[in-house]
């Protein structure tokens, strides 16, 4: 059995199986609609394995992805290599840190999908990202942030408890077991994740990896405050990426559409 201990949640097995673990995400049709309204030149921050980026490129949007993880980029490049030349021509991939990367091009639409901002524990880092966004937005361009709203009752109840998710790898038929434990610092709004991934052939454990990661989480008011104090104007806020309903006490998601 090959084991990986020096792993992050976006490297090794975690990168290899990212698309399987996130196959249930419902956001792609929302991004296609928003690209239809605001595209065609799209910049995705933290583009990962190209889950969203490739869906946009297939619909003929010009998409640039910035990604820091070598392994996530590798998977994205492998997926892109299987596409036709027209789709390949729609994609630019950049290895780098979204806090640092500076491009010549301007974009009609910049995306911060899938709780991206939760990776940045310091407000100064978020401000740096928003500054880069402002530099890269075209005159009428929009920046879209999509984040979960923390479910405090759920977090309190599940604090430190292991949750187990099972997936079948459609390519190999192998079972993937994802053991996920989140613990919270409710004062500093920190989430400490411990994730173990196991791959089974029948009953036999063939590979495993584990990682620990600290994230933060935001509530709507503070995300709005950070956007607005960075000079971004919120032109629309929604409780769902898929439909324009308001953020209410029952919302699990917050989407902010901003202009400079
Ligand atoms: C939750 S994943 C989302 C990937 C992709 N956007 C999606 O929705 O499938 C977040 C991605 O952001 C990347 N990331 C984290 N910090 C980054 C940084 N400072 N610069 C660029 N990418 C970063 C991670 O490596 C990871 O691939």
Cα–Cα distance, 98 to 67 (Å, whole number):
7
Q: What local confidence, expressed as pLDDT, does residue 1 receive?
A: 43
Give me ligand 1 centre to Cα 119, in Å: 8
Give me the mean pLDDT over the 195-205 stretch: 95
**Which atom of ligand 1 lies at the shortest distance from residue 72's CA?**
27
Q: What is the DSSP string of 128-148?
A: HHHHHHHHHEEEEEEEEEEEE
| pLDDT at residue 7, as a whole number | 63
For residue 3, is pLDDT > 90? no
Structure tokens at 157: 């109840």
Q: What SS3 state is found at 34? A: helix
Mutate to test the pocket of ligand 1, among 46, 72, 126, 129 (most ligand atoms within 8 A of CB): 46
Atom of ligand 1 nearest to the CA of 51: 9
Task: Tell me the Cα Rg of the chain.
Answer: 19
Six token digits for residue 31: 């991004």
Give percent of the chain with pLDDT exceeding 90: 91
Residue with tokens 């990896």: 209
Ligand 1 proximity of 147 Cβ (cutoff 6 Å): no
Q: Is the pLDDT of residue 132 over 90?
A: yes
Using the mean position of ligand 1's atoms as its centre, give its distance from the Cα of residue 214 in Å: 14
Residue of the nearest CA to atom 13 in ligand 1? 46
* Cβ-based neighbours of 128, under 8 Å, separated by 6 or more: 99
What digits encode the pLDDT tens for the residues 27-66? 999 999 999 999 999 999 999 999 999 999 999 999 999 9
Ligand 1, atom 12, residue with closest C-alpha: 46
Atom of ligand 1 nearest to the CA of 69: 25
Token pair of 155 as six digits: 């977090």
Q: Is 239 in the pocket of ligand 1 (CB under 6 A)?
A: no
pLDDT beyond 90 at 189 = yes
List beta partners, residue 213.
Answer: 193
What average pLDDT does the structure give for the chain? 95
CA of 116 to the centre of ligand 1 (A): 6
What the block records as the tokens of 129 is: 């990202």
Looking at per-residue pLDDT, the higher value among 1 and 135 belongs to: 135
Gap from CA of 67 to ligand 1 centroid (Å): 6
E strands in the chain: 2-4, 41-45, 62-67, 91-95, 107-112, 137-148, 162-168, 175-185, 190-201, 204-216, 233-238, 253-259
Q: Which two tokens stand for residue 233?
A: 């104007």
Domains of the chain plus CATH, in order, are: 12-149+220-259 (3.40.50.150), 151-216 (2.20.25)
pLDDT of residue 141: 97
- Cα–Cα distance, 107 to 86 (Å, whole number): 20
pTM of the model: 0.95
Give the pLDDT confidence score for residue 171 in this predicted structure. Answer: 86
Least confident of 140-144, 167-171, 229-233: 167-171
**Three-point CA angle 82, 85, 87, nearest 5°:** 80
Both structure tokens of 243: 């439909």
241 three-class SS: coil
Q: Is 208 in the pocket of ligand 1 (CB under 6 A)?
A: no
CA 9–ligand 1 middle distance (angstroms): 10
Largest alpha-carbon pair distance within the chain?
Answer: 57
Separation CA 234–CA 220 (nearest Å): 12
The pair of three-digit structure tokens given for residue 171, joined into one six-digit string: 């390519």
Q: Which of 16-25, 145-154, 181-190 has the lowest mean pLDDT?
A: 16-25
């Amino acid at each position: 059995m090959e084991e990986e201990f020096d792993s992050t949640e976006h490297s090794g097995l975690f990168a290899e199986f990212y698309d399987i673990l996130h196959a249930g995400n419902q956001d792609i049709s929302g991004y296609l609609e928003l690209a239809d309204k605001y595209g065609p030149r799209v910049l995705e921050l933290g583009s990962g394995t190209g889950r969203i980026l490739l869906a946009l490129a297939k619909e003929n949007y010009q998409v640039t992805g910035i990604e820091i993880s070598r392994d996530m980029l590798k998977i994205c490049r492998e997926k892109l290599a299987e596409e036709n030349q027209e789709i390949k021509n729609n994609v630019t991939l950049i290895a780098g840190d979204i806090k640092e990367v500076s491009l010549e091009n301007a974009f009609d639409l910049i995306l911060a999908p899938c709780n991206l901002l939760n990776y940045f524990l310091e407000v100064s880092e978020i401000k740096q990202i928003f500054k880069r966004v402002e530099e890269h937005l075209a005159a009428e361009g929009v920046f879209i942030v999509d984040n979960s709203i923390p479910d405090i009752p759920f977090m309190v109840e599940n604090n430190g408890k292991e949750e187990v998710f099972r997936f079948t790898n459609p390519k190999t038929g192998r079972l993937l077991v994802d053991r996920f434990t989140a613990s919270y610092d409710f004062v500093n709004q920190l989430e400490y994740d411990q994730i173990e991934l196991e791959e089974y052939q029948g009953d036999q454990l063939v590979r495993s990896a584990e990682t620990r990661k600290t994230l933060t989480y935001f509530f709507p008011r503070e995300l709005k405050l950070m956007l607005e104090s960075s000079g971004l104007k919120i032109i629309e806020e929604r409780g769902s990426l898929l439909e324009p309903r308001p953020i209410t006490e029952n919302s699990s998601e917050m989407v902010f559409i901003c202009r400079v």
